[in-house]
Amino acid sequence: MTPNEGLRVALSQARQQTDSLFDLVHPAALYERPIPERHRIIFYLGHLEAFDWNLLSGALDLPAFHAGFDQLFSFGIDPGSQDLPTDQPADWPAADEVRAYSARVRGGLHTALAQAPARLLHVAIEHRLMHAETFAYMLHHLPFAQKTPPASAAMAPSGPAPQMRMVEIPGGTATLGQKRDGGFGWDNEFEQHQVPVPAFSIAQYKVTNGDYLEFVKAGAAAPHFWTCRQGRWCYHGMFEDIPLPLDWPVYVSLDEAQAYARWKGMSLPTEAQFHRAAYHGGAEEAAAFALENVDFRSWDPEPVTASPRNALGVSQMVGNGWEWTATRFEPFAGFEPFPFYPGYSANFFDGQHYVLKGGSPRTAGCLLRPSFRNWFRPAYPYIYATFRLVEN
Ligand SMILES: [Fe+2]
């Protein structure tokens, strides 16, 4: 085995994953901006390679060959700023130039990767896989006519929404974060610690489109992923609109989730409550996660009833949509930013972002570890984010 062989294979698989996403975009749409707060698609074509280059070239002593692109494609936009980006397609280089840069980055890194520190390779792999998800939800909001479905894009069947049922979770401690001497984790996953959690009850299922439809009938606005066709609500899927699947989880912003919970006289789980209900440890649990609607298995959700209950009687805590928590994204005690990527988490400890846990149909399998934390702003409506209710 040559050094880093497993990680180099994982990086090459992650590259195939992101390359296949760009192949779905019609060439003329590369300069579109499907989400007004984010960069145009062309940025991401350069960003994934520029990130790897900026991360690894210093450590590997590789000389810059296109400092302009290294800079242009270095960072995305945090979609919280008040002003929407105003750049024009003509402000960006031609796609062929970006592809040539990308090829040269991969060629330049190729032989050197065996010498790269393993932690940096993990960062490159997981950064790319996280973008495989954020890029998918960006593509989700690109008009159907500007993308080509892959051969297998069938949607799950749907049926009536199940009855809501609450499950008692006994009081105890939740273990958050991970140990320093364990496997790879991002800066915000450290350090491991215990949080006491009093007994509470949590819904067996995620809140469904059918549940949320009652709220909309009572006057709430429809979520971003719904569209009205001839007076009937549809779910706006990745490649087609379908009549609202009542037993699928509803994709919502945190603001919408909290408004629904208030309407029901309930709450959203805290991050610690989520851990109590979701994670019990052991190989069996990890094997169960692999069977969920995760790891690029599908483009859209499936029914909330499609998974077996876990040991506590709760279904689908992991997969089929991230779950919003009521917890602000903050550092754990002992937090230390990565010296090579100081802003990864620290730029978002501003009280304006909330933690999501679990994973979506487009979340890579390696990101399903219990300590992984995702975070977004409460009003951000574009992501694969679901929720469930708790009673304290
Ligand atoms: Fe990035």
Separation of 81 CA from ligand 1 center, angstroms?
Answer: 17
Separation of 51 CA from ligand 1 center, angstroms?
Answer: 7
Q: What percent of the chain has pLDDT over 70?
A: 98
What per-residue confidence (pLDDT) applies to 80?
Answer: 65
Separation of 210 CA from ligand 1 center, angstroms?
Answer: 35
What per-residue confidence (pLDDT) applies to 79?
Answer: 65
Helix axes 118-140, 5-23, angle to 10 degrees: 20
Separation of 122 CA from ligand 1 center, angstroms?
Answer: 14
Q: What is the pLDDT of residues 122-144, one digit of tens each?
A: 999 999 999 999 999 999 999 99
Separation of 61 CA from ligand 1 center, angstroms?
Answer: 22
Separation of 292 CA from ligand 1 center, angstroms?
Answer: 26
Separation of 236 CA from ligand 1 center, angstroms?
Answer: 26
Q: What is the pLDDT of residues 71-102, one digit of tens each?
A: 999 988 766 666 789 999 999 999 999 999 99
pTM: 0.96
CB 252 within 8 A of CB 382: no
Separation of 185 CA from ligand 1 center, angstroms?
Answer: 17
